[in-house]
Structure formats: C-alpha cells, structure tokens
C-alpha cells in the first residue's frame, strides 16, 4: 500500500510538472502566434497597427499577469476546453482530437501489441538457441531494421506497394467514396488503407523488442536457478519459458508500458507519409500551420497518456516483482 | 575495464612502479582489441570509416556542386548523373556525398553534448543520497517520460526555421535523460565498492571520487551511451528535416527526402532519389549500432562472441 501511495504521489507531481512545462514552453520561446501570423501577412505588404491589434485580439494574446494566465490555463486543462483551432476554424480543438484519436488508437495500438508479443517470442528463441542461425538472423536483422529511419521504410513501402504495384491505396484512412460506418464494406476498406502503415510500424519496432528480450534472457540464463532447473532434468522448453523468460521479461514490460502510452501520440512520421488522419498527422498539420492551441492540446494529451501508462506499469511491476516494493 | 588502477598504495611514490596498473595506452589497446574481435563491430567500424572519409573529402569526391541547379530536371540515372537529378535540377550523387557531412556533424555534436550532460547528471545522481537524489531523479524521469519526437517537433515549431544548431540543441535537450539513467545505476553499484570507501576514508572530496575514481571504471558504458546517443541523434535529425522543420535549404539526407516527397518523386518514379538518402541514414545508424555490440562485450563478457552458450 505504501508502495502504491508513493508512486501515486510521484505521478501527481510529474503530471503537474508536465502540465506546467506545456504552459511555459510557448512563453519561453521567442516570438508569439500573433508575430507569426503578422510575419505571414507582411509578406504581402505592410501591416498597420490596427491590423496588428485585430490579429492579437483574434488569436487571444494572453493578457493579465503570468499567474492569472496560469490559472486560466489550468482551468482550461481541467475542463478539457482548449478553444478553437486556428487553421481549421471554426472547429474546436477537442472535436478535432476526438475525430483523429480512434484511427491512431486502433492502428498503432494493435500493431504495438502484436510487435511486442512477436518480438518477445523471437527474442526468447534467439537467446535459447544462442550461437545458431536462429539467434544471428533475428538479432542482426532486428538491429538492421531498427536503424532504418522509419519514415524511409514508409516511403519505400508506399512507393513499391502503392505506386508501382498498386496493391494498396496510397493515402488516407478510407476511400473518399465510402462514409465511415460499421459496415463490412467500410471496415474492409479501412483495413486495406491501414495495411501499409501497420506493416511499417511492425517492421521498424520489432527489432527493439527482439534485442531487448534476447539480452535480458541471456543474463537470466546465466543465473543459478536456471542451471539448477536444468540439473533437475526439466525439459528445455519448460526451463526457457517458465524459468528464464518469466524473469527476463520484466524490464521489457516497462518498455511495453511506455510504448502503449506512446500509442496516443501515434506515429507522426508514418502517419505523415501515408496521410493517415490520426493524432500524429494532426500534430504535424498543427505545427506546419502554426496552430498553437491545437499543438498545445495535442502535446499535453500525448504526454499525459505516457505518464498514465508509466504509472500503471510501475504499479504492475510492484505486483509482479516483489523485490521492487522493498 | 579493470579496477586495479584504483588500488594504488597512497603512501610512497617509489613503490608505485612495482604495483602500477597496466598503462593507459595498453589497456586502451586491449579494449579496442575486444571491440575489433567482435565481427559485428568490425563491420560497423569499416562502414563508419567509409562515411567519415566521404564526409571529409566530399569536395573532391562529388562530381558537381550540390547546389548547382543548372542540370535538366527529374533525370533518371545516366552516365553524367549516376543517381539522376532532383526536381530542382541538382545532381543527386553530389547531394548524397555532401549530405554525409551534416549527418556526421549532427551525430557527433549532439551525441557528445548529450553524453556529457548524461555523465555529469547520471554520475552525480548515482553518488548523491537522500533528498538531492530524489530531486535529480524527478527531473530525469520527467525528461524520460515526455515523448521525445513530439517534444522535439513542438520545440522546433516554436523556434521556427532554425538552422542546424537549433536541431542539435533540440536533440540534446530531449535526448540526454536515457544515458543519465543508465550511468546512474552503474554509479550506484560502484559506489558501494571498497575502492570508493577507501577514497572516502582518505578524505577525498565527492567530485574527485565521482569523476576520477568511479568514472574511469565505466568508460565502456559511457562510450556505449555515446554511440547510442549519436545513432538517435542522426535518426532524429533526419526525421525533423524530413518533416520540413529544419532549414530546408541545406543539403542533408533528411532534406533530400523532404524535397523528394514534396516534389512527387513517388509519382515520377525516381527510386534512386528516394532510396539512396534513406539507405545512407540506415547504414550510418547501423554502423554505430554494430560498433555498440563490440562495446557491450567489453563491459559484459557474457555477450562476447566465440564462446559456447551458458
């Protein structure tokens, strides 16, 4: 109980720090949204003082002391009211986020889980069959794949499977002719659109899980209890899975938790390449369009979900590994 | 690394020769031998060496000026342009060769800077006890859990069109925390060793113990985290440039891909323009990862090659 309370306290403190960071980040940086908008306008001719005042009023340049701004910001965060998007006016930030979120959660979420399970299994096999091709192939292949810049993998897949071979659609989450609904036709269409982004994320994230699991597993294989289990004549598979892998998986679980939290942030580069309308693509568009309210809300949401995931993994870790509770 | 170099007898210098640790150069040579004896690391060193040579001698190797736009546009591979030309009429091969400079520069600069921060913070954090340690730990964990790429993108967006220095700064700010955490746990386990206790009893001050006694014993770990940080920096730089968040007028592998996508190289079917810059990024990052296999083997003999399992 004391363990959970301590973790909870730390979580709340981290949450507050992240929210506050999100408040100060734009204020520490040179320039303001209004400056950026005026700079864009002034390319077409001189900007009058009246126009400047109008733009500042429209973009809601903060007034009042820093403390008052901070309180107003906290109120926004608690009520999830992030105002109106600049670039997609008059849509609210919240409605745009809730449109994009399901695409990202389903695409990146499913792929992350599949990659973790597959990678861990391959890692166990690689460590157990150390020194054979079953070890060197996935380890080398995995480290090669994880050094690919993943937007490049995405570009290549898009080029060959999309443009050259015409196997898959090249952009979007569904065809322009269909409307989102729970019909077999739409779901099939959406799956076809998700195939290439999913493959990209799978290929580039698999290597990390394989190597992490393999190295953790090699360390536990050297421990006395594994030798003891073997000396007792237990079958190889039993020793590998129920003795060694069971303990070796603990560090990888932390990574998995963080990856699950990262799902909400989407795969910015992959979503951008495929024009997939998830959170990452939304963040990219917000950045390009200098849509500060949208950007701030998205960054906050991405950070908070990683923090929550991290907290849950900490709790789970305490349950699985009593040594961490002390 | 051996810990013998720290157990000198402090009383007289005359006996020093008799019990001296192997010279710094000899132990360095032996360490490099371990790295080199690892097949993967050897491949990595060769690839990295090639890229460094290409970057250094870029003006001699490149057939044209990388910013020369006087050629025909969207050419496929020809005798005069081995990899074709871009949509703006630049020679792709020359851009590729000059692009190596940016990636190596960013990898080196951002890698070294974030490792320096990681060493300073990680080691102090591991040596400190009590409340101060909790405070440092809190800050490191905060940087660790905030998602790196979104943070990088948001900072880059606020700093609008910064050059390569801005990109290096953003990568360092978002990238030092991981190394700090790894180095901290090693410091924690070393600080309870006898040679540290001995140094404490002989009245040495904390900064000296941390950076002169403990630090030499984790050189391989620090080098490993340097290569890791450099790999991450190269990939992050390419990603930011690809999104168009850096200075898109410089010639780098990331900006090449940015222009390739924005000029519809996918539609014109110029596979070399898409393929070559990404392959270079992947190979450079791979070479560092491969070298790290060898560096890992220095600190963890279980990972050394050529021994039977278990």
- Walk along chain A (326 residues) and give the pLDDT tens digit of each residue: 777 888 888 889 888 988 888 888 877 766 666 676 676 666 666 777 777 777 766 665 666 677 888 888 888 888 877 777 777 767 788 888 888 888 888 888 899 999 999 999 999 888 888 888 888 888 888 877 777 888 888 888 888 888 878 788 877 777 777 777 777 777 778 888 888 889 888 888 888 889 888 888 888 888 888 888 888 888 888 888 888 888 888 878 888 887 887 777 767 888 888 888 888 889 888 888 777 788 888 888 888 888 888 888 888 887 877 776 65
Residues 6+ apart with CB under 8 A from A25: B154, B155, B158
Separation CA B256–CA B241 (nearest Å): 9
Asked if A155 lies within 8 A of B160 by C-beta distance, the reply is no
Closest Cα in chain B, distance from residue A75 (Å):
22
User: How many residues are present in chain A?
Assistant: 326
Separation CA B221–CA A186 (nearest Å): 52
Nearest to A22 by CA among A81, A73, A83: A73
User: Under CATH, domain A93-325 is a member of which superfamily?
Assistant: MetI-like (1.10.3720.10)
Chain A positions in Cβ-Cβ contact with residue B162 (cut-off 8 Å): none
The separation between CA A67 and the C-alpha centre of its own chain, rounded to angstroms, equals 32
| Residue B51 placed within a domain | no
Nearest to B153 by CA among B234, B250, B237: B237
User: Does the beta carbon of A30 lie under 8 angstroms from any beta carbon of chain B?
Assistant: yes
- Of A30, A140, A152, nearest to B281 by CB-CB distance is A152
Q: Where are the CATH 1.10.3720.10 domain residues in chain A?
A: 93-325
| Residue B189 placed within a domain | yes
pTM of the entire predicted model: 0.81
Is A109:A314 a contact under the CB 8 Å cutoff? Answer: no
By C-alpha distance, the chain A residue nearest B310 is: A222
User: Does the beta carbon of B137 lie under 8 angstroms from any beta carbon of chain A?
Assistant: no
Please tell me the predicted confidence (pLDDT) of residue B6.
47
DSSP B74: T
Chain A positions in Cβ-Cβ contact with residue B42 (cut-off 8 Å): none
Closest Cα in chain B, distance from residue A184 (Å):
31
Spans in chain B with pLDDT lower than 50:
1-17, 307-310
Separation CA B276–CA A244 (nearest Å): 42
Angle (CA) B85 A285 B109, round 5°: 60
| Residue B68 placed within a domain | no
Q: Helices in chain A by DSSP H: which ranges? A: 2-28, 33-42, 49-58, 66-79, 93-128, 133-146, 150-157, 184-221, 224-231, 236-238, 246-262, 268-274, 279-288, 292-320
Separation CA B176–CA B147 (nearest Å): 13
Please tell me the predicted confidence (pLDDT) of residue B7.
47
* Cis status of the peptide bond prior to A90, with omega within 30 of 0: yes
Separation CA B128–CA B135 (nearest Å): 10
Is A260:A109 a contact under the CB 8 Å cutoff? Answer: yes
Domain that holds residue B182: 102-248+266-309
| Residue B37 placed within a domain | no
Please report the DSSP string for A93-151 in residue order.
Answer: HHHHHHHHHHHHHHHHHHHHHHHHHHHHHHHHHHHHTTTSHHHHHHHHHHHHHHTS-HH
ipTM over 0.85? The verdict is no
Please tell me the predicted confidence (pLDDT) of residue B5.
47
Chain B positions in Cβ-Cβ contact with residue A310 (cut-off 8 Å): 145
Is B286:B270 a contact under the CB 8 Å cutoff? Answer: no
Q: Which two tokens stand for residue A120?
A: 């861990």
The separation between CA A48 and the C-alpha centre of its own chain, rounded to angstroms, equals 43
Asked if B278 lies within 8 A of A131 by C-beta distance, the reply is no
Please tell me the predicted confidence (pLDDT) of residue B3.
44
| Residue B18 placed within a domain | no
Nearest to A102 by CA among A276, A292, A308: A276
Chain B positions in Cβ-Cβ contact with residue A140 (cut-off 8 Å): 40
Number of domains making up chain B: 1
DSSP B73: T
By C-alpha distance, the chain B residue nearest A129 is: B309
Dihedral in degrees, nearest 10, Cα atoms A264, B143, A319, A241 = 80
Please tell me the predicted confidence (pLDDT) of residue A30.
65
Q: What is the CATH number of the domain that holds B190?
A: 1.10.3720.10
Residues 6+ apart with CB under 8 A from A282: A96, A97, A100, A294, A298
Chain A positions in Cβ-Cβ contact with residue B138 (cut-off 8 Å): 10, 13-14, 17
User: Does the beta carbon of B141 lie under 8 angstroms from any beta carbon of chain A?
Assistant: yes
User: Does the beta carbon of A228 lie under 8 angstroms from any beta carbon of chain B?
Assistant: no
């Amino acid at each position: 109980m004391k363990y959970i309370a301590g973790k909870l306290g730390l979580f709340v403190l981290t949450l507050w720090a992240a929210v506050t960071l999100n408040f100060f980040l734009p204020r520490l940086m040179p320039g303001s949204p209004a400056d950026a908008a005026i700079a864009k306008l002034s390319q077409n001719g001189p900007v009058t003082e009246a126009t400047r005042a109008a733009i500042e009023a429209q973009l809601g340049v903060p007034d009042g002391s820093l403390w008052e701004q901070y309180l107003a910001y906290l109120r926004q965060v608690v009520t999830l009211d992030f105002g109106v998007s600049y670039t997609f006016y008059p849509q609210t930030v919240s409605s745009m986020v809730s449109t994009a979120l399901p695409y990202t959660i389903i695409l990146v979420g499913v792929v992350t889980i599949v990659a973790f399970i597959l990678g861990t299994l391959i890692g166990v096999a690689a460590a157990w069959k150390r020194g054979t091709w079953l070890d060197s192939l996935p380890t080398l292949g995995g480290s090669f794949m994880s050094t690919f810049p993943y937007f490049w993998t995405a570009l290549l897949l898009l080029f060959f499977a999309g443009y050259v071979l015409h196997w898959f659609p090249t952009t979007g989450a569904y065809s322009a002719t269909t409307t989102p609904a729970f019909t077999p036709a739409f779901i099939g269409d959406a799956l076809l659109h998700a195939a290439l982004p999913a493959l990209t994320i799978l290929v580039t994230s698999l290597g990390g899980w394989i190597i992490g699991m393999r190295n953790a597993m090699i360390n536990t294989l050297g421990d006395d209890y594994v030798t003891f289990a073997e000396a007792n004549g237990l079958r190889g598979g039993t020793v590998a899975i129920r003795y060694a892998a069971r303990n070796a998986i603990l560090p990888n679980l932390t990574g998995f938790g963080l990856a699950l939290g990262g799902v909400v942030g989407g795969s910015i580069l992959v979503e951008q390449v495929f024009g997939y309308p998830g959170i990452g693509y939304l963040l990219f568009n917000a950045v390009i369009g200098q849509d500060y309210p949208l950007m701030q809300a998205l960054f906050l949401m991405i950070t908070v979900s990683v923090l929550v995931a991290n907290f849950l993994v900490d709790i789970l870790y305490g349950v699985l590994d009593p040594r961490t509770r002390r | 690394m051996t810990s013998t170099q720290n157990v000198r007898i402090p009383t007289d210098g005359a006996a020093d020769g008799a019990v001296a640790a192997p010279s710094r150069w000899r132990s360095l040579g032996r360490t490099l031998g371990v790295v080199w004896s690892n097949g993967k690391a050897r491949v990595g060193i060769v690839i990295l060496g090639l890229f460094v040579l290409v970057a250094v001698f870029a003006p001699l190797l490149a057939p044209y000026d990388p910013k020369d736009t006087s050629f025909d546009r969207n050419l496929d591979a020809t005798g005069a342009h081995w990899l074709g030309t871009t949509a703006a009429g630049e020679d792709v091969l020359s851009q590729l060769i000059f692009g190596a400079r940016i990636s190596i520069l960013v990898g080196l600069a951002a890698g070294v800077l974030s490792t320096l921060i990681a060493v300073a913070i990680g080691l102090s954090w591991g040596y400190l006890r009590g409340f101060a340690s909790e405070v440092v730990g809190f800050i490191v964990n905060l940087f660790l859990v905030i998602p790196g790429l979104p943070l990088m993108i948001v900072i880059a967006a606020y700093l609008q069109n910064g050059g390569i220095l801005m990109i290096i700064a953003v990568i360092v700010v978002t990238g030092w925390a991981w190394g700090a955490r790894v180095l901290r746990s090693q410091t924690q386990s070393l600080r309870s060793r006898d040679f540290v206790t001995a140094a404490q009893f002989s009245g040495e001050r904390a900064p000296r113990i941390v950076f002169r006694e403990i630090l030499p014993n984790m050189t391989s770990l620090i080098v490993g985290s340097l290569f890791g940080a450099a790999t991450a920096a190269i990939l992050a730089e390419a990603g930011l440039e690809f999104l168009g968040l850096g200075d898109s007028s410089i010639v780098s592998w990331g900006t090449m891909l940015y222009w390739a996508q924005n000029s519809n190289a996918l539609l014109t079917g110029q596979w070399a323009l898409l393929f070559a810059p990404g392959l270079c990024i992947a190979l450079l990052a791979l070479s560092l990862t491969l070298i790290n296999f060898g560096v890992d083997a220095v600190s963890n003999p279980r990972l050394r090659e050529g021994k039977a399992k278990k």
